[in-house]
Structure 1
């Protein structure tokens, strides 16, 4: 085990609460989100379509993205509603897939009696649709969405609210995120934060290649966990 990997494994030791992001972390939803945004903008606010880059807004809620784009306030709710309806239709059609290692990681956590919670910038209806379509609902003890909090990632209050909601001691928890927005929220709340599937590591995050690497780190703590590699 390399020195950085050993340090990461040591940091995880004894942490029994996992606060997990959804989009880009556990499921591959970026193409569906981007397509929904582009169609909604093209239909309602086409002048903004040329400057839209989904990657710059990853981790933000739909309403945050619409505000950041400068959509006319008179049109904002129409864009939000249309984008969400389109995205939910894509989800129902199977356009969002579970990322490699996600089910294996969640199975390992629950099998060891760890608590997994979902902390997502998605709306409650969209998050529920993804969990249902991807058969991930049963892994989480609680779900916090953009509908439940009046501020979003990267605001640290998003993750602070999650800790308050579930009486989580930050010293016993680890956050799993992919985006700079999500990392900033979690790190700002004083939480150990693993960043997966990212490019350049965001400030304060512990970079991890992918979910399979996290599974390997956890399995190395206790040989022979007996977890099926369901991927």
Structure 2
């Protein structure tokens, strides 16, 4: 058992609000996003399409990615709209599966009286379609998308806007993220953050293997037998789990 013991479970169980990311956290959307980006870019700039690395942009909005690639501003809006249409078609074709443990975790949170909100860099239309396709719609009391705010992850204002919109006290909330962009936004807003499915640990977050590990942590009746998380990445003086 690692440094996180029963106190970790008590802290997480006591935090009544969960702010969840979507892409890469609850659904496996990266392949569909990458394919949509490559196809949209190929219609405008084959050179950009060939060198495009979606992994370097995970957690960012479509607009943020397109602008960051240096697409001609006169063409950027068309690329954004085309990418979104392609991605939504992939969603309808079933190319964006829900990740293992997502339904179990969200159902457990609801059963324990926790409130879940969705905080995502996706567009409203795309997010709505993913939630419907993956049967995730009913789990969230509210949804904040890139269409609702003027900033994007990793800007901490993204999560600050979410907390303001739903009157969430950061001291009573926990964030579930996967990407470095998302973690930076949440940690910068002063929120306790769990990072799942991360290729590399992001500064300030509690790394978690997968969603099933969180289910095990929250669902156990015997805290001494729970599977623990690795806390070495945290500043123990500031982190409430320390």
Q: Could you tell me how far 1:10 is from its partner in structure 2?
A: 4.1
Q: Could you tell me how far 1:5 is from its partner in structure 2?
A: 5.3
Q: Summarize the alignment of residues 44-63 of structure 1 with structure 2, pairs less than 5 Å apart.
A: 44-63=44-63
Q: Could you tell me how far 1:13 is from its partner in structure 2?
A: 3.4
How many aligned positions are there? 223
Q: Summarize the alignment of residues 103-114 of structure 1 with structure 2, pairs less than 5 Å apart.
A: 103-114=103-114
Sort the Cα spacing of 1:7 and 1:181 in 2 relative to 1 into closer, same or farther, 3 A.
Answer: farther
In the alignment, which residue of structure 2 is the partner of 1:200?
A: 200
Q: Could you tell me how far 1:202 is from its partner in structure 2?
A: 0.3
Q: Summarize the alignment of residues 82-231 of structure 1 with structure 2, pairs less than 5 Å apart.
A: 82-220=82-220
Alpha-carbon distance in structure 2 between the residues aligned to 1:87 and 1:205: 29
Alpha-carbon distance in structure 2 between the residues aligned to 1:178 and 1:168: 21
Q: Tell which deviates more after alignment, 214-223 or 93-102.
A: 214-223
Q: Could you tell me how far 1:45 is from its partner in structure 2?
A: 2.0
Alpha-carbon distance in structure 1 between the residues aligned to 2:26 and 2:213: 14
Deviation string, structure 1 residues 40-62 (Cα, Å, up to 9, x no partner):
00112222123210000000000
TM-score by length of 2: 0.89
Deviation string, structure 1 residues 19-70 (Cα, Å, up to 9, x no partner):
0000000000000000000000011222212321000000000000001111
Unpaired runs of at least 5, structure 2:
224-242
In the alignment, which residue of structure 1 is the partner of 2:227?
A: none
Sort the Cα spacing of 1:40 and 1:9 in 2 relative to 1 into closer, same or farther, 3 A.
Answer: same
Alpha-carbon distance in structure 2 between the residues aligned to 1:74 and 1:221: 58
Q: Tell which deviates more after alignment, 28-37 or 213-222.
A: 213-222
Do the aligned partners of 1:44 and 1:78 also contact (CA within 8 Å) in 2? no
Q: Tell which deviates more after alignment, 119-128 or 40-49.
A: 40-49
Q: Could you tell me how far 1:9 is from its partner in structure 2?
A: 2.4
Question: 2:19 aligned with 1:19, yes or no?
Answer: yes
Do the aligned partners of 1:8 and 1:206 also contact (CA within 8 Å) in 2? no
Q: Could you tell me how far 1:200 is from its partner in structure 2?
A: 1.7
Deviation string, structure 1 residues 119-169 (Cα, Å, up to 9, x no partner):
000000000000010110000000000000000000000000000000000
Do the aligned partners of 2:178 and 2:195 also contact (CA within 8 Å) in 1? yes
TM-score by length of 1: 0.93
Alpha-carbon distance in structure 2 between the residues aligned to 1:205 and 1:148: 25
Do the aligned partners of 1:153 and 1:181 also contact (CA within 8 Å) in 2? yes
In the alignment, which residue of structure 2 is the partner of 1:228?
A: none
Do the aligned partners of 2:38 and 2:50 also contact (CA within 8 Å) in 1? no
Do the aligned partners of 1:201 and 1:207 also contact (CA within 8 Å) in 2? yes
